[in-house]
Structure 1
Amino acid sequence: MAFRVKQRWSQMVRGGDGKIASQFGIDPLTARVLLNRGINEEGSIRRFLHGTLEDLEDPRKMDQASEAVSLLHRAIQEKKKIRIFGDYDADGILSTYILYHTLEAAGASVSYAIPDRVIDGFGMSLRMVEEADQDDIGLIITCDNGITQTREASRARQLGMVLIITDHHEANYTVGKDGEKQYTIPDADAVVDPKKPGCGYPNQDLCGAGVAWKLMYLYEMRYMSHAPGPASGSLPLVPVTECPVAMENLPFAAAATVTDVMNLSLENRILVREGLSLLSKTRHPGMRALIRACGLEGKALTTVHVGFVIGPCLNASGRLKTARQAVDLLLEKDLSSAERMAEQLSALNEKRKQMTEDGKSAAFEMIETSSLIQDRVLIVYLKGIHESVAGIIASKVKETYHRPVIIFTDTQDPGHLKGSGRSIESYNMHDELSALSGMFLKFGGHAMAAGVTIERERLEELRYRINEACMLQEEDLAQKVLLDAVIPFSYLSEGLIDELACLEPYGPGNPAPLFGCSKVRILRARILGKNQNCVRLLVSDGSCVMTAVYFGDAAAFFAYLKEKWGEREVALLSMGKESAVRISLAYRPVINEYRGERSMQLQIAHFQ
């Protein structure tokens, strides 16, 4: 591709790394990374490096959590039927499983329902509420949805059903003349959501499954534990390690935290680290079968494995067919049956990958061969693309062009288009679309993502109005590359790289350490891989010679070098001859293990 996003490189500079290094017995570079992540107090550093499940927040701090578990217990005692309303993404699927597994263990008569992406759209629908009433359901509990479904909540209450909403999204709101947000909270018997105004729970970055897990831990502690703790009050909680069902559910909450791309704050970090450790050695039939189908059996699972391999398989069912396939896999107790179901999910995900690739290519071509390339907010209509992959395509487009984007696709109504948006940090998509909400038939989302439905004939109007109102400047559209430190290659060692691994798991809020070096001489470079998407280099900064790899658009990498240094100089690289080519690298040091041998290697993240 000809387009290359402008980048702004800068180095984070925080003092005090020497003191922290001495106090905690770590390298000053590791201490510098901690400071760069805002981890600067003794207690927070201790929890970051050595935190355990005992450091998780008390679930009783979540508003109405105690009321919710009491309502659930009463329903089970009264033998009322309970129905879980989940959602069709991985977070909703895993949330559904966590609730179902715990309530079933508690002796509940429990069932679940997942909205149809096309028929119902996101979250609890009126159709689902009416079906619950027809099925004589006494209590509905949502997960990963419900906080914006005010009409549906009112209908459930009108029909006489007890309603518990568990969610992690922001409630609907309007902005008053004073600029203050006026929230609308659904009418329910209990609303458990860390983002609910006045909730008071310290961690607003829980995913839907994280909220469900917290609530079910509280339920188990209160009603299923051998040494029950209070649902409310100041007495100590029963440790989660003494609540076996909560421990069984922990890997699923961890996986959802990763797949829903939640900020890895101190609590989420502990939840993910401990949960992935358990997930790597799980005996759970459904998850074990899925791990095997993904080719990950026997590996120490990381956020990359979960976010880019396991998660997409779970998501594929909700995108292309029904999320019930994924939920049923997790509920399956027979390993042989689970393995057949997991293979089907894996095959479905391969189909989804191809659909995504086709849509991504079509979007790139449309943007670069039209006036869209001049827009600061990209409004792209893709004919014939399945609406379920629009969000993935939007993410790919945003990553490539570093601009807010909404990908529109056809719906069952020929007069309507459905859009899935992804944004950049300097553009609050929810606020910007809220200002144009009169244009939309449906609208929801948050700062970094949104979903809308619009009349087809108003698409160009939306493109004009959203760009007319856009206040993004050139510097906002430049990709920000923040270096933790600029260090010579000679500072690196296997011991240091192993120590940096204590900062894992990586993700939003805790990115993998990124270091920089300028005026790096390229001694040799060649393209590898059947897809020509890997460049292997031999580089020197004058202090040390290192092997480096770049995973990305290899052709674009060499095109950049030719533009800067000329074809002759770049041709010399492939022959291993002396060349004038110099480059600045932003890289992550890793240990490469091959045939029992360990060696240091640089993974190039950015270059200029």
Structure 2
Amino acid sequence: MAEKWFIKNKKADYNQISNKYGITELMSKLIINRDIINDDMIKSYMNPDFDKLHNPRDMKDLEKAVGILCGKIESNKKIRIVGDYDVDGVISTYILYEALKRCDANVDYEIPDRIKDGYGININIIKQAKEDGIDTILTCDNGISAIEPIKYAKDIGLTVIITDHHDIPFALDENSTRKFISPIADAIINPKQKDCNYKFKKLCGAGVAFKLVEVLYEKFNIHKKECYKFIEFLAIATVCDVVDLIDENRIFVKKGLELINNTTNLGLQELIRECEMNEKTLSVYHLGFIIGPCINACGRLDSAKEGLKLLLSKEEDEANELAKSLVKLNQERKDMTLDGVETAIEIVQKNNMINDKIFVIYIPDVHESLAGIIAGRIREKYNVPTLIITKSENGAKGSGRSIEEYNMFEELVKCKDLLGNFGGHPMAAGFSLKEENIDDFRRKLNENTTLKDDDLLKKVTIDCILSLDSIDYELINDLERLEPFGKANSKPLFAEKNVKLLKATILGKNRNVLKFKIKTKFNKALDAIYFGDIYEFEEMINNKYSSEELQKLYDGSYNDVKVDLVFYPSINEYNGNVSIQIVVQNYR
């Protein structure tokens, strides 16, 4: 796929920053490249610790909510937590349920069913709560956009506290000015509210729930250490909800990983064992691609309550059984996703969609909870905004994933005459429509778009040019201080031009890894490894040089091959030997 390479070029006095914080100029550059610019942010970034967390009392309505909860607990009123079926929703529910239990509250929980209920609290859940004698509803990771259901809850005499992190809904007035709308709850805790003075706006739902628990525990004279035990769970939610890994989120994930590697939670222990990770040091990758998806799979294909039960288990047998069931469900989800992705690629190629600027792909029999994942995979493969539509009980339902240059939500607004319900963000959206409108919808999205061919080129953003000769263990240790990597704190990428390739070897049981021996400018030999498409690499060498040169490269004999590389430095440990290597991300 054609790519555009950019070097970040942010202006700053790197020498001054380097002296002030006792770090190298390269580190100063990497921090500024990630928009970590003011004093507090840099200190928190370099030393992410609990003392850098913000005061939860700065969050609008937080103390008010704690006051209401304390009153309800003292008078033994029934409280019901209403969560959401994704990882963030399950973990928010877990944190609030365990914390309220610890404060001797009369509390239970409800999590909506993805297919039956859809997202967030609804009127049926509220009617059921009233029938069950519930006095207070406490939402987490949802509620901010449930204007009608919450009005209904108040009309029938329930107390409602909302904890959420999603954008505040708005309507456009006659001058196209945004008028924000809030539900009429007894307390609304959401840092994105305009009149909320909380410093950090990018918490996930579990992050907001945790801030509430901080103050609740203080009121009940429960030691801070007990509150911090929730951070290992909060780390999973923070990674899986793909919020920015800076400020408090960075602290949650960094500290959470320390805790989760020594977890005493039975459910997590069993899940880690079942995923064959008990010998490994868990990282962001394991939270985001193994543990999180197992918890998420039950919300997609079964009931999200199974994931919650796993975290709450107190019996080893029950925890083991639930962990097995979640891993099995996740494997099913993976297989179904793979089938869906293959079908989608086939549809794109067979129906000459490859020239469309927006892919609208109808796969009637794909499970509707997997549409978003499949859309994400197709978007990654082609770098094209992708909407996957499936057949549902009443009509068709879709889920889309976008690229930076395309605000998917605003583009859907332009097609609202063809859609039923829809909602979302610039990068992701969900919608429903009639089956017979799908072709018109595809045509309209493509006719309306202002995307140019250039926008669909994959962008590779490089931190800076780095001489291969300057890579040493000290530099690699420095780079490790920037972890955990994720959204808004991406892994640093460096580039070097005209790198001489001495030898190439294909490795891996599926022959899907390329190992190179490369020569630096000062004639040192260095190892490099590449996990991408080997066939594409061979095509490029054949076209640019010749098949003879490619053969010489594989033989390790003298050749003319030189390439530009984008890479990050790492340490290779193999059979007790430790050496420096670079991991190649892109080449040309």
Specify if TM > 0.5.
yes
- Conserved? CA contact 1:5–1:402, under 8 Å: no
Using the alignment, how far apart are the partners of 1:200 and 1:368 within structure 2? 51
Q: Does residue 397 of structure 2 align to residue 401 of structure 1?
A: no
Query: Cα RMSD between the aligned structures?
Result: 1.7
Question: What's the counterpart of residue 19 of structure 2?
Answer: 22
- Conserved? CA contact 1:99–1:212, under 8 Å: yes
For residues 89-128 of structure 1, the aligned pairs below 5 Å read 89-128=86-125
1:437: how far off?
Answer: 2.8
Which piece of structure 1 moves more, 510-519 or 531-540?
531-540
Using the alignment, how far apart are the partners of 2:20 and 2:68 within structure 1? 48
- Conserved? CA contact 1:163–1:189, under 8 Å: yes
Q: Does residue 577 of structure 2 align to residue 580 of structure 1?
A: no
Using the alignment, how far apart are the partners of 1:200 and 1:428 within structure 2? 28
Corresponding residue to 1:453 among 409, 426, 432: 432
Question: What's the counterpart of residue 474 of structure 1?
Answer: 453
Using the alignment, how far apart are the partners of 1:561 and 1:358 within structure 2? 32
1:37: how far off?
Answer: 1.4
Question: What's the counterpart of residue 530 of structure 1?
Answer: 509
- Conserved? CA contact 2:298–2:329, under 8 Å: yes
1:322: how far off?
Answer: 0.9
Question: What's the counterpart of residue 511 of structure 1?
Answer: 490
- Conserved? CA contact 1:277–1:300, under 8 Å: no
Counterparts in 2 of 1:128 and 1:564: CA distance versus 1, 3 Å:
farther
Q: Deviations over 1:453-498 (max 9, x none)?
A: 1111111111111222211223322222121111111100012101
SS state at 1:137 partner: coil
Corresponding residue to 1:381 among 362, 365, 373: 362
Letter in 2 for 1:89: D
SS state at 1:44 partner: helix
Corresponding residue to 2:575 among 595, 599, 603: 595
Question: What's the counterpart of residue 252 of structure 2?
Answer: 271
Q: Which runs of 4+ in 1 moved over 6 A?
A: none
Question: What's the counterpart of residue 28 of structure 2?
Answer: 31
Using the alignment, how far apart are the partners of 2:506 and 2:131 within structure 1? 62
For residues 409-558 of structure 1, the aligned pairs below 5 Å read 409-413=390-394, 416-543=395-522, 544-558=524-538
Using the alignment, how far apart are the partners of 2:512 and 2:298 within structure 1? 29
Using the alignment, how far apart are the partners of 2:571 and 2:107 within structure 1? 48
- Conserved? CA contact 1:163–1:188, under 8 Å: yes
SS state at 2:431 partner: strand
SS state at 2:31 partner: helix
Letter in 1 for 2:557: K
Which piece of structure 1 moves more, 549-558 or 373-382?
549-558
Using the alignment, how far apart are the partners of 2:5 and 2:443 within structure 1? 28
Counterparts in 2 of 1:27 and 1:200: CA distance versus 1, 3 Å:
same
- Conserved? CA contact 1:12–1:482, under 8 Å: no
Q: Deviations over 1:231-278 (max 9, x none)?
A: xxxxxxxxxxx4233211111111111011111121211121112211
Letter in 2 for 1:420: S
Letter in 1 for 2:537: F
- Conserved? CA contact 1:319–1:388, under 8 Å: yes
Counterparts in 2 of 1:570 and 1:453: CA distance versus 1, 3 Å:
same
Letter in 2 for 1:206: L
Letter in 2 for 1:551: F
- Conserved? CA contact 1:517–1:586, under 8 Å: yes
Using the alignment, how far apart are the partners of 2:510 and 2:340 within structure 1? 19
Counterparts in 2 of 1:7 and 1:383: CA distance versus 1, 3 Å:
farther
1:298: how far off?
Answer: 4.4
Using the alignment, how far apart are the partners of 1:261 and 1:382 within structure 2? 27
Q: Deviations over 1:531-588 (max 9, x none)?
A: 3332222222433322111123222332333333332322222222222222111111
Question: What's the counterpart of residue 353 of structure 2?
Answer: 372
Using the alignment, how far apart are the partners of 2:160 and 2:475 within structure 1? 52
Question: What's the counterpart of residue 231 of structure 1?
Answer: none
- Conserved? CA contact 2:386–2:402, under 8 Å: yes
Counterparts in 2 of 1:310 and 1:5: CA distance versus 1, 3 Å:
farther
Letter in 1 for 2:543: E
Question: What's the counterpart of residue 561 of structure 1?
Answer: 541
Query: Gaps (5+ residues) in structure 2?
Result: none
Which piece of structure 1 moves more, 157-166 or 22-31?
22-31
1:55: how far off?
Answer: 1.1
Counterparts in 2 of 1:172 and 1:525: CA distance versus 1, 3 Å:
same
Corresponding residue to 2:156 among 159, 164, 187: 159
1:5: how far off?
Answer: 4.2
Using the alignment, how far apart are the partners of 1:51 and 1:24 within structure 2? 14
Using the alignment, how far apart are the partners of 1:391 and 1:401 within structure 2? 15
Q: Deviations over 1:100-144 (max 9, x none)?
A: 110111111211111111111111122212211111111111111
* Count of aligned pairs: 587
Using the alignment, how far apart are the partners of 2:365 and 2:203 within structure 1? 35
Corresponding residue to 2:47 among 25, 34, 50: 50
Letter in 2 for 1:491: S
Letter in 1 for 2:584: I
Q: Deviations over 1:514-533 (max 9, x none)?
A: 10011112222232223333
Question: What's the counterpart of residue 220 of structure 2?
Answer: 224
Q: Does residue 349 of structure 2 align to residue 353 of structure 1?
A: no
Letter in 2 for 1:168: H
Using the alignment, how far apart are the partners of 1:532 and 1:462 within structure 2? 42
1:360: how far off?
Answer: 1.0
SS state at 1:503 partner: coil
Using the alignment, how far apart are the partners of 1:122 and 1:44 within structure 2? 34
Using the alignment, how far apart are the partners of 1:552 and 1:321 within structure 2? 34
Corresponding residue to 1:85 among 79, 82, 85: 82
Corresponding residue to 1:6 among 3, 15, 18: 3
- Conserved? CA contact 1:14–1:32, under 8 Å: no
Which piece of structure 1 moves more, 23-32 or 84-93?
23-32
Q: Does residue 315 of structure 2 align to residue 334 of structure 1?
A: yes
Using the alignment, how far apart are the partners of 2:186 and 2:510 within structure 1? 55
- Conserved? CA contact 1:264–1:506, under 8 Å: yes
Using the alignment, how far apart are the partners of 2:61 and 2:440 within structure 1? 43
Which piece of structure 1 moves more, 560-569 or 341-350?
560-569
Using the alignment, how far apart are the partners of 1:513 and 1:361 within structure 2? 32
Using the alignment, how far apart are the partners of 1:192 and 1:538 within structure 2? 55
TM-score (norm 2): 0.96
Q: Deviations over 1:22-65 (max 9, x none)?
A: 33332222222112112234443222111321111111121111
Counterparts in 2 of 1:561 and 1:201: CA distance versus 1, 3 Å:
farther
Letter in 1 for 2:273: R
Using the alignment, how far apart are the partners of 2:110 and 2:519 within structure 1? 58
Which piece of structure 1 moves more, 331-340 or 37-46?
37-46
- Conserved? CA contact 1:11–1:486, under 8 Å: no
SS state at 1:196 partner: coil
Counterparts in 2 of 1:173 and 1:532: CA distance versus 1, 3 Å:
farther
Using the alignment, how far apart are the partners of 2:330 and 2:445 within structure 1? 34
Using the alignment, how far apart are the partners of 1:308 and 1:494 within structure 2? 28
SS state at 1:154 partner: helix
